[in-house]
């Protein structure tokens, strides 16, 4: 797949991993549509890419809305003439255990709110589905070679306090196998799908986590520090050039282990 002059959509591109991916792709000569629900930030990232000599448009959109997905894909194709890549970084966390107990009585004092569960599934899972589906539709109808990159998480294995998030990320981790299997079935030969499952990465998302829990988790990272968004962006860029990578989800975690050193 030719990298220079190809066209990518990055959802969640206004912050963290998505922002690092948009900048990195733009430096490689990729034309980038930065998509995010955060209007001010999305415009700023696109402006900064253009100021640095890259080609970018910023599009405010909510990945959970079907009409928004159709709009940002159409706008990207109208602006840049094709579409070759979709990276689905838009994501949120709303942590909490399914049940909380009253210390005195031992009875249930609080349940995980349905809205907390639903919103995380909606943005992370449904948003990823819509973006991948409509990006693939545009690639097939345009006859353009493509790469779909759904973003899972190492917490796909099941993280306590993240029943909603881990469920979404486990489902996303399976997507490349299913999508590529269906492409094979339908005779779609020139679109690949490679998922990325990052470990704990230095972004705004982690500031919403329990900071004591995060500190404890870091003690189980062999690398001894958080992953940098640029390290994820490097891996995603590499996926463009190696067409043997397909129908799989790659973990990039710095060696995250369970307590007592068993690799996750
Ligand atoms: N940071 C980590 O440790 C980590 C680890 C594993 C996986 N991930 C995943 O990587 C992705 C990026 O996370 P991040 O850490 O860069 O987070 P981040 O909070 O820095 O960025 C997420 C972006 O998604 C946008 N967004 C949220 N809801 C949206 C919606 N409905 N429509 C469009 N945009 C929306 C936000 O505005 C934000 O700009 C997420 O899918 C996250 O689950 C992050």
Any idea what the CATH number is for the domain that residue 16 is in?
Answer: 3.40.50.720
Residue 246 CB partners (closer than 8 Å, separation 6+): 176, 180, 192, 193, 194
Residue of 212 and 238 predicted with greater confidence = 238
| pLDDT for 217 | 83
16-27 and 39-51 helices, crossing angle to 10°: 20
Does a structural domain hold residue 67?
yes
Backbone angles phi, psi at 147, to 5 degrees: -135, 125
In the numeric block, which tokens belong to residue 55? Answer: 């080609």
| pLDDT for 29 | 98
| pLDDT for 2 | 87
| pLDDT for 64 | 98
The whole-number average pLDDT for the span 236-261 is: 93
16 lines ligand 1 (CB under 6 A): yes
In the numeric block, which tokens belong to residue 123? Answer: 């943005």
The whole-number average pLDDT for the span 56-61 is: 98
| pLDDT for 127 | 98
CA distances from 132 to 10, 53, 87, 228 (A): 11, 28, 8, 25
At residue 209 the predicted structure's pLDDT band, cuts being 50, 70 and 90, is confident
| pLDDT for 41 | 97
128 lines ligand 1 (CB under 6 A): no
Tokens 């159409």 — which residue?
A: 74
Tally the domains of the chain: 1
Element (H, E) at 22: helix 16-27
Ligand 1, atom 23, residue with closest C-alpha: 12
The whole-number average pLDDT for the span 171-200 is: 98
Does a structural domain hold residue 1?
no
Whether residue 65 has pLDDT greater than 80: yes
Does a structural domain hold residue 222?
yes
Q: How many A from CA of 224 to the centre of ligand 1?
A: 23
CA 6 to chain centre: 19
Angle subtended at Cα 95 by Cα 92 and Cα 98, rounded to the nearest 5 degrees: 135
Q: How many A from CA of 107 to the centre of ligand 1?
A: 35
d(CA 132, CA 85): 9
CA 181 to chain centre: 21
Whether residue 74 has pLDDT greater than 90: yes
Tokens 């609080």 — which residue?
A: 110
Does a structural domain hold residue 263?
no
Does a structural domain hold residue 262?
no
At residue 259 the predicted structure's pLDDT band, cuts being 50, 70 and 90, is confident
Q: What's the domain range around 122?
A: 7-254
CA distances from 117 to 111, 155, 171 (A): 11, 16, 15
Does a structural domain hold residue 259?
no
pLDDT tens digit sequence for 14-44:
999 999 999 999 999 999 999 999 999 999 9
220 lines ligand 1 (CB under 6 A): no
Does a structural domain hold residue 2?
no
Does a structural domain hold residue 104?
yes
Q: Beta strand pairing status for 99-101 and 31-36?
A: unpaired
| pLDDT for 260 | 73
Whether residue 235 has pLDDT greater than 80: yes
The whole-number average pLDDT for the span 230-238 is: 98
């Amino acid at each position: 797949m030719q990298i220079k002059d190809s066209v990518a959509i990055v959802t969640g591109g206004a912050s963290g991993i998505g922002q690092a991916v948009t900048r990195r792709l733009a430096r490689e000569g990729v034309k980038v549509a930065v998509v995010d629900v955060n209007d001010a930030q999305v415009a700023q990232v696109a402006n900064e890419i253009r100021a640095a000599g890259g080609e970018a448009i910023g599009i405010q959109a909510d990945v959970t809305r079907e009409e928004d997905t159709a709009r940002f894909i159409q706008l990207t194709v109208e602006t840049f003439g094709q579409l070759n890549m979709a990276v689905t970084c838009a994501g949120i966390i709303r942590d909490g255990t399914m049940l909380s107990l009253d210390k005195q009585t031992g009875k249930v004092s609080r349940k995980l709110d349905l809205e907390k569960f639903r919103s995380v599934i909606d943005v992370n899972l449904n948003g990823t589905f819509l973006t991948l589906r409509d990006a693939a539709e545009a690639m097939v109808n345009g006859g353009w070679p493509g790469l779909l990159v759904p973003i899972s998480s190492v917490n796909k294995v099941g993280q306590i306090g993240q029943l909603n998030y881990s469920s979404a990320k486990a489902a996303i981790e399976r997507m490349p196998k299913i999508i590529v299997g269906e492409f094979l079935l339908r005779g779609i030969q020139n679109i690949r799908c490679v998922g990325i499952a990052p470990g704990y990465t230095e972004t705004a998302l982690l500031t919403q986590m329990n900071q004591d829990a995060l500190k404890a988790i870091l003690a189980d990272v062999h690398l001894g520090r958080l992953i940098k968004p640029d390290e994820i962006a490097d891996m995603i860029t590499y996926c463009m050039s190696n067409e043997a990578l397909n129908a799989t989800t790659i973990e990039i975690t710095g060696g995250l282990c369970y307590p007592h050193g068993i690799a996750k």
